Structure 1
Amino acid sequence: MAMPTTPPGYSTPSTSSEPAELAFVDTGPAPEAVIFDFGGVIITPITNKLARIAERHGTDTTTMLEVMMGPRYESTDHPWHRAERGEVPITDLQELVAPIAAAEGMTFQGDEYAELMDDQTYSIVPGAIELVGHVGDSPLRMGLLTNSVREFRPELEAAVDLALFDAVVDSSIEGTRKPEPEIYCRATERVGVEPERILYLDDFDHNLGPARDLGWQVVHVTDPTVAFAQVRRLLS
């Protein structure tokens, strides 16, 4: 499977041991709303688990991500993308993805998705809940925009109080997922401010392009400590 190259205008996660430099892209007028991604911003990223599964199969994380979660830079009919749009249950994924894994020379053992979805190995990103509270205590509107599967909703609700958000846009309920433009349009409408007044945090670089195209200000969260501190400075 050919690995996609990074599209123009996108950045890739830092591999340096030094704190990542975080750039605000296309910053504009003072934000009136902050929209958070969930995985990788509020809870630890799914790539942490993919790395462990990849090691078990003797491959790299990027290849395992492509096999189990589909192409990063587009929405397709890959089974994981379909699950995130609420089209198939996650219980079907193991069987549906096994041929894709086989084409990459892997023999799935039958527990890969159970391991991926095990909520016991996710944790809250340090400082995330505090930042959500900081925004919630301000006059700013606040939203949550997440690619998720229906079966993970209880874990999402356990991690953060969804009542804190003025808008919760969940791909598995909406039937559309990042980076499809429609889900960003729905988030804009529901958070209720002009697009250029939205500040969006996401750890996956490929989810930032459609937001920028719509006029949002974006933060690529590669180092949450740096990102959260910079968001606080910007909002103050």
Structure 2
Amino acid sequence: MARERATALLVDFDGVLRRWDPSVASGVEREYGLSEGVLTEIAMQWGRLQPVVTGRVSHADWVTSVADALADSAGGPERARAAVEQWQRYRGEVDPEVLDFVREVRAGGVRVGLGTNATDLLDADLAALGLVGELDVVVNSSVLGVHKPAKEYFQAACEALATPPARVLFVDDEDWAVRGARAAGLSAHRWSGSGDLRYLRAALATGG
């Protein structure tokens, strides 16, 4: 049985609409004598990350906890704080092809939401990256208090889009998020790069 064609799009932020240059973190690590990859490794430890993406602690508190964890290897707390602050000043880059796609489908009458596990810095990031007004809704886990891949997260996203789950197409670069969306009744596609845009255009009800 064929699915209903999607009339709304929900896109992930990091890894889809926003991309990160890994050389920024590695440059900071070299400058401060840290082992390669340690900034991301420490920052993304789930026990540290989960409270900030559910709004239980602030982005600033999360940054402090990362610096505290790096104090010994950075040569003291002051150097650790300086390293983490320098790393955090870089806020990523918008993928221009994805942004063009978002604009295209919105112009065709498709509602587009941003569906992200993010911190309380998200609004500032969207403003800094020139994305204010480019999306119909923003579904931030730290505001909801629940994160992807929970069913409740996707239910809230569909409500924000005013679209039933069967009519929402979700795009994310992580398998676990795609599986969670499908379990919640959404169509979902694992993003692997701009080569996917042709498929996504075909899956959306633009122009008809």
- Which residue is equivalent to 1:165? 135
- Check conservation: 1:86, 1:150, Cα contact below 8 A: yes
Worse overlay, 159-168 or 31-40:
159-168
Report % sequence identity: 23
Residue 164 (structure 1) shift: 4.2
- Which residue is equivalent to 2:195? 226
- Which residue is equivalent to 2:9? 34
Q: 1:98-109, aligned counterparts within 5 Å?
A: 106-107=73-74, 109=80
1:110 aligns with 2:87: no
Q: How many residues align?
A: 198
Aligned residue identity for 1:84: V
- Which residue is equivalent to 2:34? 57
SS of the aligned residue for 2:180 comes to helix
In 2 relative to 1, CA 49–215 (structure 1 residues): closer, same or farther, beyond 3 Å? farther
In 2 relative to 1, CA 135–96 (structure 1 residues): closer, same or farther, beyond 3 Å? same
> C-alpha deviations, 1:144-172, integer Å up to 9, x for none?
11122113421213435443433221122
Larger radius of gyration: 2
Residue 226 (structure 1) shift: 0.8
Structure 1 unpaired stretches of 5+ = 1-26, 72-77
Aligned residue identity for 1:186: A
2:110 to 140, 155, 167: 140
Worse overlay, 190-199 or 38-47:
38-47
Residue 48 (structure 1) shift: 6.6
1:201 aligns with 2:171: yes
What is the Cα-based RMSD across aligned positions, in Å? Answer: 2.9
In 2 relative to 1, CA 47–91 (structure 1 residues): closer, same or farther, beyond 3 Å? same
Under a length normalisation based on structure 1, what TM-score does the superposition of the two structures give?
Answer: 0.70
Structure 2 CA distance for aligned equivalents of residues 181 and 47 of structure 1: 31
Aligned residue identity for 1:218: A
Q: Indicate the structure with greater helix content.
A: 2
